[in-house]
A and B are shown apart, each in its own frame.
Chain A
Amino acid sequence: MSNGAMFRTCPDTGLKFHRPAESLMKANAVAAVVFLLVGGFFGLLVGLTRWPEVHLLEAESFYLVLTGHGINVLIFWIIFFEMAVLQFCSSTLLGCRLATPQLAWTAWGLMVAGALINNYAVLWLGNSSVMMTSYAPMPADPLFYLGLILFAVGALINCFIFLATLVIARSERTYQGSIPLVTFGALTAAIIAIFTIASGAIILIPTFLWSVGIVSNIDAGVYRLIWWAFGHSSQQINVSAHVAVWYAIAAIVFGAKPLSEKVSRVAFLMYIAVLQIASAHHLLVDPGLSSEWKIFNTSYAMYLAVMASMVHGLTVPGSIEAAQRARGLNSGLFEWLRKAPWGNPVFSGMFLSLVGFGVLGGITGVVMGAEQINLVMHNTLYVPGHFHGTVVVGTTLAFMALTYWLVPILFRRELILPKLASWQPYIFGLGMAGVALFLMGAGTLGVPRRHWDILFSGAADGGYEFSAAALTMMSLNGMSVVLACLGGALFILIVVGSLLFGRRLDEGAKVGREMIAATPADSAYKGIGVGAITIPGTLAMVFVFFAAFVLYYFINWKYLAETWGIS
């Protein structure tokens, strides 16, 4: 195949798309959206059952639906999309061919087969309602584990293809100096994914063998330890990937360049080194593990990863502010933010993701990671509240934002319903922020996480009476779920509708609006800001964030102090 036939140059961005890689990106992105649809629908059913006045499903179907919801959105949607991100950040951003496209198709096939087999076991056979954690010795059908293993093997192959593509780009000299920061972020995600998937294999393969009767026993403590190296680290892949997406969108929409490449790369390095071990916060009440192990893996090492996230939380909006000021929006503290393109879903989705991830997911993650105050909300609805802040408001919203840019650039289709698209991130973001907040509120008041009926209404003693505040939180959560699902449905409608019915863009045709902003000249950055401070608006937001962080942290210590009264 000639070079011209192997590559397509995007007329809007100048990016070189390796055609086999482009097809793979499309296949992974489409698979991701399909599983988002399935998992999102189950999320609606879960939310309507958690709503006390509705309580839609019976116990048996609730656990089945909850299992399908967790695995389809937390694993299949996100990891399929991340595979597309890895291929884009390696092949496209480095302008080189993707390593072994045929093997990448095999990997995609394994992932699709694994996801379908797992769903078959959960939804059709109906004997695998073990929820996402699938704690042994609670048994699921062998196909449940087999599906997850096949999916993991496919994803692992893709991670090594990503590394091989970096080697090709370096040997063929398609870039100068270091790889771009966005690709570096994707590399971080790939490395965490390799650790994550290897951990999954270490525990799921013996569990599969146990389910078919070859292995006699799976130790529950060891299962929980290694499963969480898979289960929580899989969410750390998301963090690295969506931070890379933030940097990419800052460059795409504003032509922003990082405040300091070195600082951002070192922050990613801290993710590589210590982000995965935060998995330990799920085991803070497990009796078999010592306080030394728990405290090192959470309250010491995890804080380095938190610091890395705070660095990104400063540098991403800071780079946007600097670029906006360099374009002349230099008045006061927030002109750069006020005049940002809030009607562009690529930007609004990314910015809501950034704020939601930091405030809702980040602060609460630190609270959960402290051994003492973790006891206030361990295994309550606070936990799903927290991860809806990180994974849904943070990751999913960032991926949605990028998708709005990818539809014309990668799929060569004009977006349909642009007005609706400009509203979608707000509807979804508001709904999901409500879900995160109200679940955490209910969790703080003690509402349990894993039981179908929080009121235990069938119990012989008449059940348990939660406070009116807790029940109100659960009702508000139900309403927020409906709003978020509306936002999710709009996303699917706009994206799938655009792929099917959007105006087709010829290979050489431009979209007709700016798809990538030019980087302001270095001279334009001189004299920006207020006095000697170049990004005063971002620093003001950071101080508000820190104040909220400190206040919330100590409020939880106060809650803990009130747990046992001193007489």
Chain B
Amino acid sequence: MADKNEQIDESNMPAMQRVLDNPFILLFIGILIPTLAYIVWGIMELISIPIAD
């Protein structure tokens, strides 16, 4: 019974709270954003610099 109640509670949980309660979604966000915005974008800029003659 307790399990059923818990399932009902979880299904009614707001989407934002589900995100905050899931450490692996948070890990994904925490890796993805800085990797794209800082590292990938930065590397693309650096490798697009023409090599001096």
Contacts and interface: CB of A to CB of B under 8 A. Distances in A.
Interface of A: 163, 166, 178-179, 184, 187-188, 191-192, 194-195, 198-199, 219, 221-222, 225-226, 229, 233, 265-266, 269, 272-274, 276-277, 279-280, 283, 288-290, 293, 296-297, 301
Given A229-B34, A288-B49, A297-B37, 7 more contacts: A187-B23, A195-B30, A195-B31, A225-B39, A269-B20, A277-B34, A297-B38
Contacts of B49: 221, 288
B38 A191 contact: no
A301 B41 CA distance: 14
A477 to B, nearest CB: 32
Please report whether the interface of chain A is mostly helix, strand, loop or mixed according to DSSP. Answer: helix
Contacts of B38: 225, 229, 276-277, 279-280, 297
Given A194-B27, A269-B20, A272-B26, A222 B34 contact: no
Contact of A272 (B16, B21, B30, B41): B30
Interface of B: 16-17, 19-21, 23-24, 26-27, 29-31, 33-35, 37-39, 41-43, 45-46, 49
The secondary-structure label for the interface of chain B is: helix
Contacts, number: 83
A280 B34 CA distance: 11
A179 B43 CA distance: 37
Contact of A229 (B20, B29, B39): B39
The 4 lowest CB-CB distance pairs between A and B, nearest first, are A191-B30, A276-B34, A272-B30, A277-B38
Given A265-B20, A276-B38, A297-B37, A289 B31 contact: no
B26 A301 contact: no
Nearest to B14: A262
A178 B21 contact: yes
B36 to A, nearest CB: 10
A289 to B, nearest CB: 5
A263 B31 CA distance: 22
B45 A290 contact: yes
Most buried by B among A178, A219, A293: A293
B44 to A, nearest CB: 9
A184 B30 CA distance: 14
